[in-house]
Chain A
């Protein structure tokens, strides 16, 4: 990553923090303006909606241009790797040109062009091994995954894109799943990745986006370890199926299952404890999601009660727990305990509330009334239509 980009990111961090302080009413307009004057906007940074629209439109333009090229030249399949590589390089160049422009760097176009460039390059690798080298399926897939890991890794390093870091780590895990003892490799790689990336989470010399990449790698490592040790994943050979390796017909041994049961409980707990002790919200979030998955695993194996009762009790327990934690934190001195608070601090609560509308409407909007048929006699409708859905 270029030094100028790192400096620009640091300034953007302070400006974003100042916007949060202003939004929360912690500073006045005069102070806010003074901060903006001292930290002038290094690159045009539109709101997320603009960036999403730009990403979509740039994606459409590049894919349509690629499609026009293919349709116009009708290249033979043996030349496909060359065309994929050419398109990939062209898209990457487009991404780089935008990244170097002060007005285009943060609009969403860099992400679109670099993503599709890498996809084209990885596609070229697949086709090259398949059509030009006539390599076997295993070699082709392994080469493609290795290429994806390297390219996304390099892209994450160069453009500071946390999503690319996640894709690179994901490709490595799928590659490892294809190796003998893939499950053990997942555990080893997950632990190593999380431990290595954790050291850079707070490193001042790293660019803010690189620290975000490190956070993603820690999270992916934790998820990888959990996926390898989870009892359901072990019994159903999910890691092995992902790598399409030959399955051991005997299944997991008794010892493996016992160890898996213990670790299914302990790994999420360890993540939650680490998240609380280090006060890292993302680690806490990962731990909570893994805890929920462990409870689902428990429900799969142990029939505690009727499904409706489990759902109702789990929902009520979650509500009470969340309200209890909120109350406990609010009752602490200065509304905080051990460095945690339920106050929103400087987050954009308004934007969060707006984003919440989507899942709420998606999950709870009633089904539409059916079309009226000639001679139709009402039967009282389908219950639940008032918001809980008709099918439950």
Chain B
């Protein structure tokens, strides 16, 4: 029971602000006479997908020699097709605007089908080496597949996976457990992160301008900003010689992102830019030469206070919660 809301509803009804019908409904929810379990259902669905894909993966790993690649490929394909057909039958018709399905399980069955297809593709590529030396291109195929489904079914989840798969194709790891951008030449990866990030951000802005799935903008732009800032930050923290140049670049990029985010009232890119700039500055302040650690720590704290001031001022002037 939320006694404060229940009392508020009664007061608003008494004052004529709320009519009886909605007030009755709001009162029931506040008094816990009606409780939603949507979150629990969605969590169970996600956990189910996680367990099922892990089980299928383990099955393939342990049994592929005994059963044979063709049978395994067909079996996973049938499972994937069943999920995608289910999703297709319950999906809203395609639209360039928002068109999400109201079904609580829709996102997860679609996710399961997509993951099974990706698993199948990866497995068949491993077994039959269809792409040979160019096997990393299957990551691009998967990214395009996820992207196609994301646009057809209006799924932010699949769009995120599509962007992550595209980044993986460019050699950038965004999954848990990675401590760097990926493995290999840091300079090349930095360049890949920057170019991929810019590409994502531009596509996000273009989708808004064209009015085609404009609500996907946050996925595109936030992913792009994350990659760009991650790329420049890796230069600040990863370079021994020219980190000062990278720091200047970071400050310039962060300022540009923060200014754009401020203008278009986008809080997450703004927050990312402020935090990234502060991290970069900390590197500069704390790793400088000399023995006056106290002064450097004090300066870092003062710069933190300045960053906090920027955040407070931006929040007040952006006039959004």
Contacts and interface: CB of A to CB of B under 8 A. Distances in A.
Given A68-B297, A322-B41, A371-B184, A385 B49 contact: no
B219 A380 contact: no
Given A34-B17, A354-B156, A50 B51 contact: no
B18 interface: yes
B61 A285 contact: no
Contacts of B50: 315, 363
A68 B9 CA distance: 52
Contacts of A382: 122, 126
A321 to B, nearest CB: 7
A374 interface: no
B301 A369 contact: no
B96 interface: no
Given A38-B12, A57-B311, A204-B3, A364 B48 contact: no
A251 interface: no
Contacts of A329: 37
B262 interface: no
A318 interface: yes
Contact of A312 (B17, B44, B52): B52
B168 interface: yes
A388 B300 contact: no
A139 interface: no
B171 A369 contact: yes
B175 A371 contact: no
B53 A388 contact: yes
A345 B36 contact: yes
Interface stretch (A85-93, A119-127, A187-195, A303-311): A303-311
Contact of B2 (A13, A21, A71, A310): A13
A387 B41 contact: no
A343 B185 contact: no
B48 A315 contact: yes
Contacts of A353: 107, 156-157
Contacts of A64: 297-298, 300-301, 304
B77 interface: no
A141 B54 CA distance: 42
A181 interface: no
Interface in B41-68: 41-42, 44-63
Interface string A278-312: 01110011001000100000000000001111111
B12 A371 contact: no
B200 interface: no
Interface in A321-336: 321-323, 325-326, 329, 336
Interface in A3-20: 9-10, 13-14, 17
Would you call the interface of chain A mostly helix, strand, loop, or mixed?
helix
- Judged by DSSP, the binding face of B is helix
Contacts of B131: 378, 380
Contacts of A364: 53, 111, 115, 161, 164, 175
Interface residues of B, number: 126
Interface string B163-197: 01101111111111010001111001000000000
A56 B275 contact: yes
Interface in A360-375: 360-372
Contact of A311 (B26, B51, B126): B51
Interface residues of A, number: 111
Given A279-B35, A308-B56, A319-B44, 14 more contacts: A57-B278, A57-B307, A68-B298, A279-B33, A308-B59, A312-B56, A314-B48, A315-B49, A319-B48, A326-B41, A368-B167, A387-B122, A388-B119, A392-B61
Interface of B: 1-5, 7-9, 12, 15, 17-18, 22, 25-26, 29-30, 32-42, 44-63, 103-105, 107-109, 111-112, 114-115, 117-119, 121-123, 125-129, 131-136, 138-139, 141-142, 146, 156-157, 160-161, 164-165, 167-176, 178, 182-185, 188, 218-219, 267-268, 271, 274-275, 278, 293-295, 297-298, 300-301, 304-305, 307-308, 311-312, 315, 320-321
26 contacts: A17-B30, A35-B12, A56-B275, A72-B294, A284-B37, A284-B40, A306-B62, A308-B62, A309-B55, A315-B49, A326-B103, A342-B38, A342-B41, A345-B36, A347-B36, A360-B157, A370-B184, A378-B132, A378-B135, A381-B138, A383-B60, A383-B123, A385-B139, A386-B117, A386-B119, A387-B122
